[in-house]
């Protein structure tokens, strides 16, 4: 096992023991830099993550490392490192079976791994339950029910009690971050809790597609259909991604029919109802509508507040009521974002030893909304603001006049489009109405050089940057 695989296994374990929001906040972009004689160096993205992993998760990390390695960990160190392409592992792709493009192997790691491969495999297998794809943290108990999701919740409950008998298939649809995945895992978890012999499999439609395409290449079609057609419960998340994948749709159609005929439960989710999924075969569409379709809507204020209270107290925090309301008012669209904000707030306060309050939340949300403002940055808006700053009009900058001031403003605009948006030179040229992108290259280089030596220009550019992102 190389360092990358080792860390993926550890992440896989951690993901099932801590909350998804915590996991994402602290473990995304972490990796193992080196292992040497039981000393492990972990790369983290910033000092907060370093402190947090050390103070909160050290023992969990060590436990998991030791279990996976089969060796004692004598020392652990966290290094702040920019997520280099070679070493970093994105937490969201730390799922079993997801191929990682990069390999990270130091000699020390190799020597550990050769002795330990067998131990670690058995341990990993043993820690996995019958349905390794299910996240045990997504349960009915910690799902808050409100008007927005009560139909979906009731259907999910029924299906978990009578799999294959009541609503088959069960189809959830609704916007991002509203609890569809959570509900589907909850059904799977409840079914296996009631009857551990039930074979439940959770996949995303992308995973299903990938597995199917792999199978076509390796010609192990038998194993694939045995796996899928032998299930008691099949859960497919984000089925909209099957749209326009003809071969996979065909395979899914047969899988669906086999399972359905044998009264095996099928549960699916999508961001839209079956009839609105583009490029989905009609025969699949009509099958998806055969059982029960239930929508999940945006939760109302009360439900959002209840979710916040629940999440905070699960982490040992009782937030003041007005703070709960404040957060609930600010995050209306997406519960995942709400959770992220809450985790951020709690972490921020714990690290500083202060009590969460509205004014702190305001500060943090302020920086959040400025990042969303950043997303609306375009070459055009940069051009306009630069022109305004220099008391010129945008057409001055896109025009052909070569006066000194105009030329400089034009170059600054190109420089900012480059540095703020990381735009390509042809794109920069296009924004300035120029055909030839060598001018853009030349301009960006020139300003890059000038800001080194020219303090006034540097001050101008800093001010402009602030206005651009305002
Ligand atoms: P979707 O699959 O609809 O995009 P998820 O199921 O991934 O959304 O939900 C996003 C996050 O919000 C998850 O962490 C989930 O636990 C949480 N969440 C969503 N709805 C609820 C709810 N009603 N009660 C508690 N947590 C919720
Ligand atoms: Mg989902």
All residue ranges of the chain with pLDDT < 50 are 84-130, 370
Q: Quote the pLDDT of residue 308.
A: 94
Could you tell me the distance, in angstroms and rounded to a whole number, from the CA of residue 170 to the centre of ligand 1? 18
Residues near 53 by beta carbon (within 8 Å), at least 6 away in sequence: 26, 30, 42, 44, 61, 78
Q: Quote the pLDDT of residue 123.
A: 30
CA distance 219 to 215: 5
Pairing mode, strands 31-36 and 39-44: antiparallel
176 CA closest ligand 1 atom index: 4
CA distance 2 to 9: 11
20 CA closest ligand 1 atom index: 14
Could you tell me the distance, in angstroms and rounded to a whole number, from the CA of residue 177 to the centre of ligand 2? 7
CA distance 447 to 73: 51
Cβ proximity of 30 and 81 under 8 Å: no
User: Does the beta carbon of 336 lie inside 6 Å of ligand 1?
Assistant: yes
Could you tell me the distance, in angstroms and rounded to a whole number, from the CA of residue 176 to the centre of ligand 2? 7
- For 39: left if phi > 0, alpha if psi spans -120 to 50, otherwise beta; the answer is beta
CA distance 80 to 44: 5
174 CA closest ligand 1 atom index: 3
Q: Quote the pLDDT of residue 454.
A: 83
Sheet strands (E) in 193-252: 200-204, 233-237
Cβ proximity of 233 and 269 under 8 Å: no
Q: Whose CA is nearest to atom 5 of ligand 1?
A: 179
Helical axes 180-194 vs 150-161, angle rounded to 10°: 20
Q: Quote the pLDDT of residue 374.
A: 56
- For 278: left if phi > 0, alpha if psi spans -120 to 50, otherwise beta; the answer is beta
Pairing mode, strands 265-270 and 200-204: unpaired
User: Does the beta carbon of 177 lie inside 6 Å of ligand 1?
Assistant: yes
Give CA separation, 206 vs 186, 327, 437, in Å: 21, 33, 39
CA distance 318 to 308: 10
The alpha carbon dihedral of 144, 150, 153, 158 has a sign of positive
As separate numbers, helices (DSSP H) first and strands (DSSP E) second, the chain gives 21, 8
- How many residues does this entry show for the chain? 470
Closest by Cα among 331, 304, 324, 333 to 146: 304
Residue from 20, 177, 315 whose mutation best tests the ligand 1 pocket (most atoms within 8 A of CB): 177
Q: Whose CA is nearest to atom 19 of ligand 1?
A: 179
Q: Quote the pLDDT of residue 240.
A: 93
Q: Quote the pLDDT of residue 330.
A: 86
Helix/strand/coil for 75: strand
CA distance 37 to 268: 47
335 CA closest ligand 1 atom index: 12
User: Ligand nearest 185 Cα, by number?
Assistant: 1
The owner of tokens 């290259």 is 441
Q: Say how many CA atoms lie within 13 Å of 101 toward its Cβ.
A: 4
User: Ligand nearest 172 Cα, by number?
Assistant: 1
Q: Quote the pLDDT of residue 368.
A: 52
Q: Quote the pLDDT of residue 375.
A: 60
User: Does the beta carbon of 144 lie inside 6 Å of ligand 1?
Assistant: yes
Could you tell me the distance, in angstroms and rounded to a whole number, from the CA of residue 105 to the centre of ligand 2? 33
Q: What are the helix (H) ranges across 70-106?
A: none
User: Ligand nearest 308 Cα, by number?
Assistant: 1
């Amino acid at each position: 096992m190389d360092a990358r695989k080792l860390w993926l296994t550890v992440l896989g374990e951690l993901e099932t023991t801590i909350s998804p929001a915590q996991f994402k906040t602290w473990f995304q972009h972490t990796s193992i830099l080196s292992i040497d004689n039981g000393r492990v160096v972990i790369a983290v993205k910033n000092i907060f993550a370093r402190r947090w992993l050390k103070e909160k998760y050290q023992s969990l990390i060590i436990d998991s490392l030791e279990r996976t390695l089969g060796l004692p960990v004598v020392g652990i160190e966290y290094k702040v490192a920019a997520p280099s392409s070679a070493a970093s592992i994105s937490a969201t792709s730390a799922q079993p079976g997801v191929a990682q493009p990069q390999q990270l192997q130091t000699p020390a790691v190799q020597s550990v791994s050769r002795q330990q491969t067998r131990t670690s495999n058995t341990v990993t297998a043993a820690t996995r339950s019958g349905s390794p794809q299910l996240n045990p943290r997504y349960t009915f108990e910690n799902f808050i029910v409100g008007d927005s999701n009560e139909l979906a919740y009731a259907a999910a409950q029924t299906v978990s009690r009578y799999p294959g008998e009541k609503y088959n298939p069960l189809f959830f649809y609704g916007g991002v971050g509203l609890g569809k995945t959570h509900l589907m895992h909850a059904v799977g978890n409840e079914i296996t809790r009631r009857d551990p012999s039930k074979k439940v499999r959770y996949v995303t439609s992308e995973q299903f597609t990938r597995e199917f395409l792999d199978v076509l290449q390796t010609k192990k079609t038998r194993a694939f259909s045995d796996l899928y057609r032998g299930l008691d419960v099949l859960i497919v998340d984000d089925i909209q991604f099957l749209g326009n994948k003809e071969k996979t749709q065909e395979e899914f159609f047969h899988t669906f029919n086999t399972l359905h005929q044998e009264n095996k439960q099928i549960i699916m989710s999508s961001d839209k109802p079956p009839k609105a999924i583009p490029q989905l075969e009609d025969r699949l569409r009509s099958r998806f509508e055969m059982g029960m379709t239930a929508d999940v809507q945006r939760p109302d204020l009360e439900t959002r507040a209840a979710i916040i209270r629940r999440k905070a107290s699960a982490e040992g925090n009782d937030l003041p009521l007005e703070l709960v309301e404040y957060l609930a008012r600010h995050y209306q669209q997406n519960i995942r974002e709400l959770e992220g904000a809450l985790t951020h707030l709690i972490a921020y306060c714990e690290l500083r030893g202060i009590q969460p309050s509205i004014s702190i939340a305001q500060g943090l949300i302020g920086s959040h909304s400025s990042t969303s403002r950043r997303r609306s940055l375009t070459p055009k808006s940069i051009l306009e603001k630069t022109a305004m700053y220099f008391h010129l009009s945008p057409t001055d900058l896109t025009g052909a006049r070569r006066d000194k001031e105009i030329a400089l403003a034009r170059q600054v605009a190109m420089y900012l489009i480059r540095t703020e948006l990381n735009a390509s030179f042809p794109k920069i040229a296009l924004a300035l109405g120029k055909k030839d992108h060598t001018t853009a290259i030349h301009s960006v280089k020139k300003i890059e050089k000038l800001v080194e030596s020219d303090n006034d220009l540097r001050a101008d550019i800093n001010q402009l940057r602030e206005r651009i992102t305002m």
